[in-house]
Amino acid sequence: MPGVNLLRNRARKVYKELINLSPHHPDPNYQLARKTRECFRSTMSRLESLQDQQTKEDELARAVAKAQWIRKEVEALIFLARYRELKRRYGDTRHLE
């Protein structure tokens, strides 16, 4: 199990990636940056209240894994929206091959 400092660095990295992806989210009303901030703040406050170091480390690892999964899902949404927009603009080009 990686140390707490390594997990915190991973959490910061995923947080920054999610914040940087937020302007590209297909639904501008979703407010990804605000929801990301709220989620990370609540998770960190919950983790700081834990007393057992091993439990804290396990919970942090679980939270980082979930954040990485969410980042991948947001990236997939962005790519899907781009694909659909290109397909809408240029139509289906499979018949040209």
63-73 residue pLDDT tens: 999 999 999 99
Give the whole-angstrom CA distance, residue 70 versus residue 78.
12
- Average pLDDT across the chain, whole number: 91
pLDDT in tens, 8-29: 999 999 999 999 999 999 998 9
Give the whole-angstrom CA distance, residue 48 versus residue 9.
16
- Predicted pLDDT of residue 25: 92
Give kind and range of the element (H or E) at residue 92: none
Predicted model pTM: 0.84
User: Pick from 49, 47, 68, 69: which is nearest to 58 by CA?
Assistant: 47
